[in-house]
Amino acid sequence: MILRGITVLTLLLFLFEGVTSLRDVRLLVEPTTVVRGGTAALVCSRDMQGAPLYSVKWYRGNHEFYRYTPMEEPDTRVFGLPGIYVDMNRSNGTQVLLRRLELGLAGNFSCEVTADSPSFATQIATRFIDVIALPTSTPVLVADKDRYQPGELLRANCTSPPARPPTNLTVYVNEEPISALETSLLSSDSGLFTTRVKVEVPVTSRLFPSGRLRVACYASLYQLYNKSAKLDFLTPETDPRPERITLNGGASTCASNQLLLLFLLIIPIMLKQHRQEPVTHDDDSEHNRISLVGG
């Protein structure tokens, strides 16, 4: 009775072993988000539990593009699939290196592992690979005026160059993020998107804490792209600023008696020169101080 029980158990264990001779098939992709034109390494790990390997097949969607069969000669085969470039020098039974990935190849990739006889157990693992396009330049920030008085409404647009997926745009007023009045998405040919946000800011004198109001627009795409555009507006009340007439001298702190004497002797000459030259104002007045800074 007990003996028969043990025999059945052994048989069950044997069958169980046979079924699970292959386990933990996993597909690791590095990176999972590829900038177009770039490279991705696909690693297919598995636990064969001592069983011999029959094949590893690689798919994009349902289409097989690469196969490794250690018992065949040659042991690797590539099935031409448009846009898939397998680097044969860097691909084997465990991993495949794909080069020059284009936007259209974003999708599910799989590796399917099959053990040899008697079980021919098969397991498949799938991962999504995203292919993205970064914007080729910085965002463009435009405001409707060059300067604003308190009480006015500042209207501005920020536009990100085409990208896929669309970039995230955030507008800041003096380091504070503000919500967009309107966000629009324009799809262009070749599958890229242009993002534009529109903002409106009621201008108050509080927005010029140090005499300057800064509007900034940050565009980002995951951790792979981060650029900004900035506009500075100067407070109207302090304009024009008549101080800072530059007359050198007077700043000297090392006025020894001798120097003072010398100075007194020179004064008449200086005064004479001074009368001839017109006093120069610091002509860097704030009129054209709007700057566009690409970060």
The answer to whether residue 90 forms part of the interface with ligand NAG (CB under 6 A) is yes
Instruction: Give the interface segment with ligand NAG, choosing from 69-77, 93-101, 187-195, 204-212 (CB under 6 A).
Output: 93-101
The residue within the footprint of ligand NAG, chosen from 4, 5, 50, 89 (CB under 6 A), is: 89
The residue within the footprint of ligand NAG, chosen from 155, 214, 281, 289 (CB under 6 A), is: 155
The answer to whether residue 107 forms part of the interface with ligand NAG (CB under 6 A) is yes
Residue numbers 179-198 binding ligand NAG by CB under 6 A: 198
Residue type for position 29: V
- 28: tokens are 């690791």
- Of the pair 167, 235, the CB lying nearest ligand NAG is at 167
- Cβ-count burial of 207 within 10 angstroms (0-12 exposed, 13-18 middle, 19+ buried)? buried
User: Could you tell me the smallest distance in angstroms from the CB atom of residue 222 to ligand NAG?
Assistant: 5
- 142: tokens are 């435009």
Binding string, 195-224, against ligand NAG, x = CB under 6 A? ---x---------------------xxx--
Contact 173, 144 (CB under 8 A): no
The answer to whether residue 32 forms part of the interface with ligand NAG (CB under 6 A) is no
Distance CA 3, CA 37 (A): 65
**85-86: strand order across its sheet:** 23-30, 40-47, 95-99, 85-86
Residue type for position 58: W
For residue 218, report the phi and psi dihedrals to the nearest 5 degrees: -110, 130
List contacts with ligand NAG (CB under 6 A). Answer: 87, 89-90, 92-95, 107-108, 128, 142-144, 155-157, 165, 168, 198, 220-222
